[in-house]
Amino acid sequence: MTKEQLQQFFVSQGDKSFRGTQVYEWLWGKGAHSFDDMTNISKETRQMLDDNFVINHIRVDQMQRSSDGTIKNAVKLHDDLTVESVLIPTPSRTTACVSSQVGCSLDCKFCATAKLKRMRNLNPDEIYDQVVAIDNESRLYFDKPLSNIVFMGMGEPLMNYNNVLKAIEKITSPEGLGMSPKRITVSTSGVPKMIKKMADEEVKFKLAVSLHSAIDEVRTSIMPFNATFPLNDLREALEYWYAKTKSRITYEYVVWKGINDRRKDVEALVKFAKYVPCKVNLIEYNPIGDDHFKQAPDETTDMYVRELERNGITVTVRRSRGKDIDAACGQLANKS
Ligand code: SAH
């Protein structure tokens, strides 16, 4: 329920609308899981709330810790489905990697989540609650609040756009967690229509695109939906995004042996990366038990770095975190 709905409910009960604000703050500001926690509300009122409502909060069913400090939460939803979210600590920041869907509707060949198929979209509160759970863990284990959020868990955020946006509104609002949108990154495999919509709405968070190839034929072979949303449409949408937001795009890119390790793959990426101000993140491949995909050797990654840098494009090589607990990119599949 919105704050207004809660206020109206209390007024309809002959109480003050202020009571609705209090309940709302308990739910969203303090993450209360039970009406009994709401100590500034009378016992009778709490009982009345308990008789009339349920709090559909998520429950961290299982928490695993990696040898590198990464934490993975298996999160049970009210209908018994599970999603995963990850806390990635570094000396300077702690990042939450959250899920937006149960499973995924896309079919990227190299991703474990894709094998689950999409079961349903997460509600805004289910997304928000994952962040709250990780924020609590960050305070508990690392003595500091969460600093960044990436929508790089399970699901395609732009296929659940409205709920993701509502969750981000709550995360950034002073009544929620009051986080700056600049510390939030939404990662998409590239849905041109939705990228344009976000640009029109002048959203303030950052955009990352899982590119993996700048050649249509190759990209379609590993990300089949590219046949529907080819690179030209993606390019056009990204140009539109940059014109409206002036916000630099991050491309995520894995280099695989025998798939995108040729010179012409590098050249195509260099060309694509020049369309819109961007940076390229070369990410490590995390095996998902499929022999078709193998990380290219370091020399190939070096060739990518050299060529991108020679062309004035910012490039970083990112090592995976949490591999030993299947918490790394593309490994989220509710295995344990
Ligand atoms: N659907 C969104 C959000 C998922 S983000 C998107 O595609 O961007 C997860 C990131 O991990 C994406 O960049 C994805 O391409 C990448 N990824 C998927 N499987 C991977 C794997 N096995 N190893 C490394 N990265 C992978």
Percentage of the chain exceeding pLDDT 70: 100
- The predicted structure's pLDDT at residue 285: 93
Give the C-alpha separation, 118 to 114, whole Å: 8
Does 97 qualify as catalytic in the annotation? no
**Amino acid, single-letter form, for residue 253:** Y
Is the minimum distance from the CB of 222 to ligand 1 under 6 angstroms? no
Average of per-residue pLDDT values in the chain: 93
| DSSP 8-class letter at 154 | S
Q: Give per-residue pLDDT as tens, 130-175.
A: 999 999 999 999 999 999 999 999 999 999 999 999 999 999 998 7
Predicted confidence band of residue 77 (pLDDT cuts 50, 70, 90): very high
pTM for the whole structure: 0.91
User: Top-level CATH class of 59-325?
Assistant: alpha beta
- The predicted structure's pLDDT at residue 1: 84
Residue nearest to atom 21 of ligand 1 (CA): 330
Query: Residue 336 pLDDT more than 80?
Result: no
Is the minimum distance from the CB of 330 to ligand 1 under 6 angstroms? yes
Query: Residue 335 pLDDT more than 90?
Result: no
Cβ distance 135 to 146 under 8 Å?
Answer: yes
Is the minimum distance from the CB of 185 to ligand 1 under 6 angstroms? no
Sign of CA dihedral 210, 212, 214, 217: negative
Residue 40, annotated as binding a ligand:
no
Give the C-alpha separation, 263 to 275, whole Å: 19
- The predicted structure's pLDDT at residue 17: 95
Percentage of the chain exceeding pLDDT 90: 81
- Tell me which of 206, 252, 291, 326 to substitute to probe ligand 1's pocket, judged by most ligand atoms within 8 Å of the beta carbon: 252
Break the chain into its structural domains and give their ranges.
3-52, 59-325
Q: Which of 4, 84, 217, 267 is catalytic?
A: 84
Does the domain formed by 3-52 have CATH 1.10.150.530? yes
Nearest to 102 by CA among 128, 84, 87, 89: 84
Query: Residue 263 pLDDT more than 60?
Result: yes
Give the C-alpha separation, 222 to 212, whole Å: 9
Is the minimum distance from the CB of 84 to ligand 1 under 6 angstroms? no
Q: Across-strand partners of 121?
A: 101
Query: Residue 2 pLDDT more than 90?
Result: no
Is the minimum distance from the CB of 156 to ligand 1 under 6 angstroms? yes
Predicted confidence band of residue 304 (pLDDT cuts 50, 70, 90): very high
Q: Give per-residue pLDDT as tens, 177-232.
A: 899 999 999 999 999 999 999 999 999 999 999 999 999 999 999 999 999 999 99
Residue 284, annotated as binding a ligand:
no
Residues 6 or more apart whose CB falls under 8 angstroms from that of 52 comprise none
Query: Residue 288 pLDDT more than 90?
Result: no
Per DSSP, the residues of 28-92 read IIS--SSGGG-TTS-HHHHHHHHHH------EEEEEEE-TTS-EEEEEE-TTS-EEEEEEEE-SS
- The predicted structure's pLDDT at residue 33: 85
How remote is the CA of residue 46 from the centroid of ligand 1, in Å?
44
Which region among 63-67, 148-152, 308-312 has the lowest average model confidence (pLDDT)? 63-67
Which region among 54-58, 193-197, 263-267 has the lowest average model confidence (pLDDT)? 54-58
Kindly give the number of the ligand 1 atom that is closest to the alpha carbon of 188.
Answer: 8
Q: Give per-residue pLDDT as tens, 13-37.
A: 999 999 999 999 998 878 788 999 9
Cβ distance 135 to 85 under 8 Å?
Answer: no
